[in-house]
Chains A and B, each alone.
Chain A
Amino acid sequence: MEKIIELKKVNKWFDKFQVLKDIDLEVGSQEKIVICGPSGSGKSTLIRCINRLEEHQEGNIVVDGTELSESTKNIEKIRAEVGMVFQQFNLFPHLSILDNCTLAPIWVKKLPKKEAEEIAMKNLTRVQIDDQALKFPGQLSGGQQQRAAIARALCMEPKIMLFDEPTSALDPEMIKEVLDVMVDLAKGGMTMIVVTHEMGFAKEVADYMIFMDEGKIVERAKTKDFFENPKSERTKLFLSQIL
C-alpha cells in the first residue's frame, strides 16, 4: 500500500515540556486510523503536526511526498490537501455556510465561483445540510455546524482528513449525526486520522488503533486485536475505564 503520511522519530517540546516523544507512524493511502488516549497525551498535537499547525523540533514528517520543515515554502499547498475538522468547529461566523465552503476553493484553488458553489452544494448535500446553505453559522445547531465544517474541509477535495475530537463539544443527541457523516466518508475511501473517544465509531471504521500516553505511542494494533487482546497494561487500564 502506498504510504501517504510518514513520521520518523518526531519529538516536540512546549518550552521544556516534551509533548511528543519519538513518534513513528506510517499511514497508507485510504487507511483509517483512530488515535485515543487520556487528555494531555499528545494526540491533538500529533495530528496538528501533520498539517503543521504545530511545528515539530526533531524528526521527519513527510506528507504526500513533501517533507515538512521550516524551509517548506509551500506549506499552504500541503494544507490545501489535508482537510482538518476541529473540536470547536471554527466556522467563519461572518460568512454564510455556502460562503464558508466556497471561500477557500475560490481564493486558494482559484476555482470559478460557479464551480466552487456546485462543489459546495454537492458536499453540503452529502452531509445533509444543503437546506441550511444560506444561513450563518450562529443560526445552526452544534451538530449542523460540525457537519458544515466537514463539508467545508471536503470542498478543498483533500487527500487526507484529520479530525481533532470532532464530537467532544457536542450534545449527546448530536454526536450520532456527525459520526454518521464520518462513517459515510470512511466508506467512500478517504484517508482519515481521527482523534476521538467514540469507541463504537472506532470499532466500525478504523483499520488501526493507536493508543497514546505521555507523548508516546504505547500501542498500535489492528482494531480487532486492540479491543480484544490489548498487549500493554496501560492500554488495558484505559480501555477498562472507557468501555
Chain B
Amino acid sequence: MNLIAKPSKENIKTYVPIGLFLVSLGFLDVFINAFFNFNLTAFLPSQLSYFLPLVLGFIGFYLIRIEFSGVRPLDILNKNINSNNFNALLTLFTIFIIIKSIPPMLDWFILEANFIGNSKEDCTGDGACWVFIKVWFNRFMYGLYPNAEQWRINTAFLILFAVVGASFFVSEKLKKYFILFLVFVFPFLGIKLISGGSFGLEYVESAAWGGLSLTFIISAFAILFCFPIGVILALGRRSSLPAIKYISIGFIELWRGVPLITVLFMSAVMFPMFLPDGTFIDKLIRVLIAITLFEAAYMAEVVRGGLQALPKGQYEAAKSLGMGYWRMNALIILPQALKLVIPGIANTLLALVKDTPLIFVVGLMELAGMIGLAKTNPKWLGMAMEGYVFAGLVFWIICYAMSRYSQNLEKKLSTER
C-alpha cells in the first residue's frame, strides 16, 4: 500500500534500502555479464533479460530520490546524477556503457595483446600487436636518421631536458641566463649537432630526419618563432600608422584564409621555382617558415583579443608616466594582455603540435608519417590500428603536458585575489 506513495522523509527507512538494493542488483548484473560472460537473468526472455538492469536501476533511483533527506551523501547523489527520471536514465546508460566497454578494451590493449616476438607472425592473439611498435620503435623516434649517428639527437634532447630541468632549481638571476640560452643559443646549437657537417660530425640531410624527434624539432622552432611574430602582428594591427596596420591585416587574413596543407605544398613545390637559379633553401627550413608564419597569423589574433580586453586607462596611465610606445607595450600592456590569453595561446600551440603530421604532403615523415610508412610495409600490413593508437597516445601525452604547464603558468601569474 505504501509502495505507490511518493518517496519522502517519512518512508526513507524502507525506500532507501530497497532502492539501493535494486540499483546494486542492476550494476551487479551488468558487471558479471561484462566481465565473466555469465548472464544472471538467463531464465528470462532474452529482451527482458537485456534491459532488466536498466529497469531495476531506474526503479531503484526513483525510490531513493528523496528531496532534503538530511542524509548528506544521498542529497549529493540525488542533486548530481539523479535529479529527475531523465537524468537517472542517463546516469544508468553512461555507467552501463562504461562497464560494458572496459573488458573488450582491456583485452585488446593488454590481456590478449602480443608483446613478444619480432615479426607479424608472432602476433597470434586476438588483441593488439604491440610487436609492431617494438620492432619499428627506432624508426618512429628517429625516422631514417642513420643508427650510428642517433646519439647526436639523444644528446641534443638530453641537453635540452637537462637545462630546462635545472632552470627550475636555480635562482631567479641565473634562470634568466638559462632562458636566454634556451631561446637564443640552444636552437642553433642543437640543429648544428643534429645536421652535422662540421666539427668532424657526418652531415645528415634533413630528408633523413623524421619520427618523434622531427615532431619535436618542428614544433619547438615553430613555437619559438611564431610567438614573437604573432605579438608584433597583433600590435601592428592596432597601430595608428595606416601602412603598418594594413600590412598586418593583409598578412594575417592571407595566412588565416589558406589551409595549412596548401601552404606546405606551395612552400615545398612552388616556392623553389621563384628563386633565382642556384639558390637553394633546405626543404625543412621552407616548411618551418611556412608553419611559423601560418601559426603566427593565428597567434596574432589571439594576442589581439588580449590587447582589446585591457581597459583604456592602462594605456593612459602608462602614457601619463612618460612611457613611449615600446616601453608602454613591453612593460604594461603585453604582460597583462598575454596573461589574459594564456588559454588561447595554449590552444594555438597545441594545434600547432598536432598540425605537424601534415608535413607528409612534402615528403617529411614525423611520428604519424613514419607510422603511415611502416603500416604499408608488406611484412606489416594491417597494423594501422596499433600504429595510430600509439601515435594518438604519444601526441596526447605531449599535448596534455603542455596544457598542464599552461594551467600552472596561469595560476603562478595570477595576482588577483
Binding site for B on A (CB under 8 A): 51, 53, 76-77, 79-84, 86, 88, 90-94, 103-104, 107-109, 136, 138-139, 149, 152-153, 156
- Chain B residues with Cβ below 8 Å from A109 are 322
Q: A93-B336, A103-B331 are in contact. Are A80 and B321 (CB under 8 A)?
A: yes
| Pick from A92, A138, A139: contact of B332, CB under 8 Å | A92
Question: B140 to chain A: closest CB distance in Å?
Answer: 43
Q: Given contacts A94-B415, A138-B416, is CB(A79)–CB(B335) below 8 Å? A: no
Q: Judging by beta carbons under 8 Å apart, are A90 and B415 in contact?
A: no
Partner of A92, one of B314, B319, B416, B417: B314
CB distance from A150 to the nearest CB of B (A): 12
Task: Give chain B interface residues in 288-344, CB to chain A under 8 Å.
Answer: 311, 313-314, 316-324, 327, 331-332, 335-336, 339
Q: Which of B311, B322, B417 has the most CB of A within 10 A?
A: B322
* A86 CB contact (under 8 Å) in B313, B331, B415, B417: B313
B410 CB, nearest partner CB in chain A, Å: 13
Please, which residues of chain A bring their CB within 8 A of the CB of B331? Answer: 103, 107
A-B contact pairs, 11 of them (CB 8 A): A76-B322, A86-B313, A86-B320, A90-B317, A91-B317, A92-B336, A94-B335, A94-B339, A104-B322, A136-B416, A138-B416
Give 18 new A-B contacts, CB below 8 A, not counting A79-B322, A108-B321: A53-B319, A80-B322, A81-B322, A82-B320, A84-B320, A86-B313, A86-B317, A86-B320, A90-B311, A90-B317, A92-B317, A94-B413, A108-B322, A138-B416, A139-B417, A153-B320, A153-B321, A156-B322
Q: Which residues of B lie under 8 Å from residue A51 when comparing CB positions?
A: 319-320
Our pick among A76, A80, A90, A138 for the contact of B316 (Cβ within 8 Å) is A90
Instruction: Mark interface residues in B137-157 (1 if CB within 8 Å of A CB, else 0).
Output: 000000000000000000000
Provide the residues of chain A in CB contact with B339, threshold 8 Å.
Answer: 94
Secondary structure class of chain B's binding surface, majority of residues: helix
Cα A112 to Cα B314 in complex, Å, equals 24
| In the A-B complex, the 7 residue pairs with the closest CB atoms | A80-B322, A90-B317, A104-B321, A90-B313, A84-B320, A136-B415, A79-B322
Contacting B320 at CB < 8 Å: which of A53, A92, A103, A138?
Answer: A53
Decide yes or no: A108 and B327 within 8 Å by CB, A53-B320, A156-B321 being known contacts.
Answer: yes
The CA-CA distance from A90 to B314 in the complex, in Å, is 6
Q: Taking CB as reference atom, which chain B residue is nearest A96?
A: B415
* CB-based nearest B residue for A88: B313
Q: Which residues of B contact A152 (CB under 8 A)?
A: 321
Per the bound structure, the CA–CA distance linking A90 and B332 in Å amounts to 11
B interface residues, Cβ below 8 angstroms from A: 311, 313-314, 316-324, 327, 331-332, 335-336, 339, 413, 415-417
Checking A76, A80, A138 against B415 with a beta-carbon cut-off of 8 angstroms, the contacting residue is: A138
Query: How many contacts A-B (CB < 8 Å)?
Result: 73
Complex contacts, B335 vs chain A, CB 8 Å: 94
Residues of chain A with a CB closer than 8 A to B417's CB: 136, 138-139
CA distance A90 to B331 in the complex (A): 15
Evaluate contact between B313 and A79: CB separation under 8 angstroms.
Answer: no
Closest to A51 in B: B320
Tell me, in angstroms, the Cα distance from A79 to B313 when the chains sit together: 15
Cross-chain contact A107 with B336 (CB below 8 angstroms): no
CA distance A26 to B415 in the complex (A): 43
Check A93/B415 contact, CB under 8 A, given A53-B316, A86-B317, A107-B331: yes
Is there an interface contact between B336 and A79, defined as CB atoms closer than 8 Å?
A: no
**Residue numbers in B under 8 Å from A86 (CB-CB):** 313, 316-317, 320
Instruction: Provide the residues of chain B in CB contact with A84, threshold 8 Å.
Output: 316-317, 320
Nearest CB of A to B311, in Å: 8
Instruction: Tell me the complex Cα distance, A139–B313, Å.
Output: 19
CA distance A83 to B322 in the complex (A): 9
A94 touches B336 (CB 8 A): yes
- Tell me which of A77, A81, A138 has the highest count of chain B C-beta atoms within 10 A of its own C-beta: A138
Q: How far is the CB of B14 from chain A (nearest CB, A)?
A: 54
With CB as the reference atom, state the residue of chain B lying closest to A78: B322
Question: Are B327 and A107 closer than 8 Å at their CB atoms?
Answer: yes
What is the CA–CA distance of A51 and B320 in the complex, to the nearest angstrom? 7
How far does the Cβ of A53 sit from chain B's closest Cβ, in whole Å? Answer: 5
Q: Separation in Å of the B416 CB from the closest CB of chain A?
A: 5
**A77–B416 alpha-carbon span in the complex (Å):** 33
Q: How far is the CB of B107 from chain A (nearest CB, A)?
A: 53
Shortest CB-to-CB span from B385 to chain A, Å, is 49
Complex Cα spacing A138 to B319, Å: 21
Tell me the nearest residue of chain B to A91, going by C-beta.
B317
Q: Which residues does chain B contribute within 8 Å of A153, judged by CB atoms?
A: 320-321
